[in-house]
A and B are shown apart, each in its own frame.
Chain A
């Protein structure tokens, strides 16, 4: 079994682990929400809730067995999670103000944004102190299979573990080939699953030319991606960010053209729309559109 695991890890570089300590993560208590409302932590880590609102809150978790009592503006409360599990909590003063913490014996960290096809995919594992060999598993649709392995105090394939009492961090570098879900495993302990999207979205090259009363924007993809759905987004003050104003499919030459009627200069970019129909999986460099004034 061990040999099989190591064979599966042949394409993987496992770097020297760096020493890691128990971490402290902050959660903001807003007017009526916790932010972030969900946290994944390692057993032994602490969470600190800070009241950044103008009214009193509390934090109570029956599952974790704590009750902060009233927490005033600017004050805080902390709890250390000693055992794996899922721990919902709530402010008992304000209905609907809820959150939850999931504590694991292994904590996996992976890119949250899509990774370019063929690019290095960095994964990091924090195991709790005292765990045995750790492996990373990948599920791209056919079930989980090992893709990297390491053991504390050396013993892994091209890997080393620093079995310090306060734990350590394993770093694995894979090659991004397919969107998949990853998890770390040590004995019967599992990390949280993390989804990593791999994109083959092309690079977009944008050019703009003023027209009377507006501006024309041309876009082409490198390499060619005829048929890909692209959208032009403007950086609009009233939208507080990028906002899609038109969509098009790249033609046979992998080009598309947008004509915008605008009077004022505006920042613009073109995105490749992902499989969900709305998200950007790639974006061009922003350009400033300078329309020609109408006669």
Chain B
């Protein structure tokens, strides 16, 4: 497996508007109710909990949209909407706090992009503005710029006074920024490692069948957007595939710490059903494992 090198079409710098809200939902970490690898069963009382998540909306928060084009209605909302841009773009994220569940303040704090302190989205008593402490029912617009050093994948998350409750509940998402001339991948897989209650989750789900089933075809240009949130280190491992690190050394496992992120790319050439997982064994046992299915061309 080798890194992708493909031509790209230069794009004009743009101003992108994103409409996002923090909304309550009921989340099930194990919808099929089982760890199929160990043949263990779980009751809804162990796996379902009320929480607040980021959700994409149409302009003016008129109508909710799916966060990502996925194949199942049962997997959306965690992580929040994938926000895409190119280097040079300006991004306006219009955020509204619709937390009618806990009625807590929330915010959006973005990694990897440029902004003034007012758009930092973090709460500092006596210093931060409204953007770090958006009260229920209120809105705030974060003004971001994708600089020359912003190409890559980055997390965003709540950094308000309630972040210690909301992050373990899934109030986070991903920014994906391409270079000005970088080709867009055929498949982009957002993969967020995070502990959630008694489970170790990928995108808020635990155990094979529940975690995202990523799909591709031989010949596709694949991009994994890998992010870790929480207080633990993880390792990103995909069976049957290798990629190269920044120094050109092949690897099939890469370590990632809290709030770190990276993207991994390859041109797919390995049909079959594969596992991906965190190789910290305790995390794998507690659910941080899933399927990657590659169809023949």
* Interchain CB contact (< 8 A) of A112 among B40, B43, B213: B43
- Would you call A278 and B291 a contact (CB within 8 A)? no
- A80 in the interface, Cβ–Cβ < 8 Å? no
Q: Are B31 and A276 in contact (CB under 8 A)?
A: no
How many residues on the A side are at the interface (Cβ–Cβ under 8 A)? 28
Q: Are B293 and A277 in contact (CB-based, < 8 A)?
A: no
Q: Are B281 and A32 in contact, CB atoms less than 8 angstroms apart?
A: yes
A166 at the binding interface (Cβ < 8 Å): no
Q: Which residue of A lies closest to B41 (CB)?
A: A241
Q: Is the CB of B38 within 8 A of A30?
A: yes
Chain A residues, Cβ within 8 Å of B273: 238
Nearest-CB distance from B290 to chain A (Å)?
10
Interface residues of B in 186-216 (CB under 8 A from A): 198, 208-210, 213
B7 at the interface (CB under 8 A from A): no
Q: Find out whether the CB atom of B291 lies under 8 angstroms from the CB atom of A276.
A: no
**Residues 54-108 of A contacting B (Cβ, < 8 Å):** 94-97
Q: Is the CB of A276 within 8 A of B26?
A: yes
Known A33-B286, A112-B43, A279-B44; contact A245-B72, beta-carbon cutoff 8 A: yes
B213 to chain A, nearest CB (A): 6
- Give A195's nearest chain B residue, CB to CB: B45
- Considering only residues 185-201 of chain A, those with a C-beta below 8 Å from chain B are 195
Residues of A within 8 A of B208 (CB): 240
- A238: chain B residues at CB < 8 Å are 209, 213, 273, 291, 293
With A30-B38, A35-B40 already in contact, the answer to whether A279 and B48 are too (CB < 8 A) is: yes
Q: How far is the CA of A94 from the CA of B286 in the complex (A)?
A: 14
In the bound complex, residues from chain A placing their C-beta under 8 Å from that of B209 are: 236, 238-241, 243
A240 and B32 within 8 A (CB) = yes
Bound form: Cα–Cα A33–B26 in Å:
27
Please judge, given known A-B contacts A32-B281, A278-B44, whether A241 and B28 are in contact too, CB under 8 Å: no
* Interface range for B: 20 to 34
Residue B220 lies at the interface, judged by CB distance under 8 Å to chain A: no
Task: Specify which of A32, A240, A277 lies most central, judged by the most chain B CB atoms within 10 Å of its CB.
Answer: A240
List, in ascending order, chain A residues with CB within 8 A of B198's CB.
Answer: 37
The CA of A35 and the CA of B25, in the complex, are separated in Å by 29
Contact call B282/A32, Cβ cutoff below 8 A: yes
Closest to A273 in B: B26
- Residues of chain B within 8 A (CB-CB) of A277 are 25-26
For residue A246, CB closer than 8 A to chain B, the reply is: yes
Interface string of A228-264 (1 = CB under 8 A from B): 0000000010111111111100000000000000000
Main secondary structure of the interface of A (DSSP, over half): loop
Which of A31, A195, A242, A246 contacts B285, CB < 8 Å? A31
The reply to whether B32 and A242 contact each other, CB–CB distance below 8 Å, is yes
What residue of chain B has the Cβ atom nearest to residue A96's Cβ? B282
Q: Which of A31, A245, A276 contacts B281 (CB 8 A)?
A: A31
A-chain residues with CB within 8 Å of residue B38 when the two chains form the complex? 30, 35
Nearest CB in chain B: distance from A201 CB, A: 14
Whether B285 and A245, one on each chain, are in contact in the complex, defined by CB atoms closer than 8 angstroms, is no
Which of A96, A97, A274 has the most chain B CB atoms closer than 10 A to its own CB?
Answer: A96
* Contacting residue for A243 out of B31, B285, B293, CB 8 A: B31
With A and B bound together, what is the CA distance between A242 and B281 in angstroms?
27
CA distance A245 to B36 in the complex (A): 20
Which residue from B28, B50, B210, B293 sits with its C-beta under 8 Å from A279? B28
Chain B proximity of A114: nearest CB distance (Å): 10
A97 to B285, CA, bound (A): 11
Q: A94-B282, A244-B31, A278-B27 are in contact. List 15 more A-B contacts (CB 8 A).
A: A32-B285, A33-B286, A112-B43, A238-B209, A240-B34, A241-B32, A241-B33, A241-B36, A242-B32, A243-B72, A243-B74, A243-B209, A247-B73, A279-B44, A279-B48
Residue positions of A touching B, CB distance < 8 A: 30-33, 35, 37, 94-97, 112, 195, 236, 238-247, 274, 276-279
User: Which 10 pairs show the lowest CB-CB distances between chains A and B?
Assistant: A241-B32, A277-B26, A240-B36, A240-B209, A32-B282, A279-B44, A278-B28, A239-B209, A244-B74, A32-B285
A-B contact pairs, 8 of them (CB 8 A): A32-B285, A96-B282, A112-B43, A238-B213, A239-B213, A240-B36, A246-B73, A278-B31
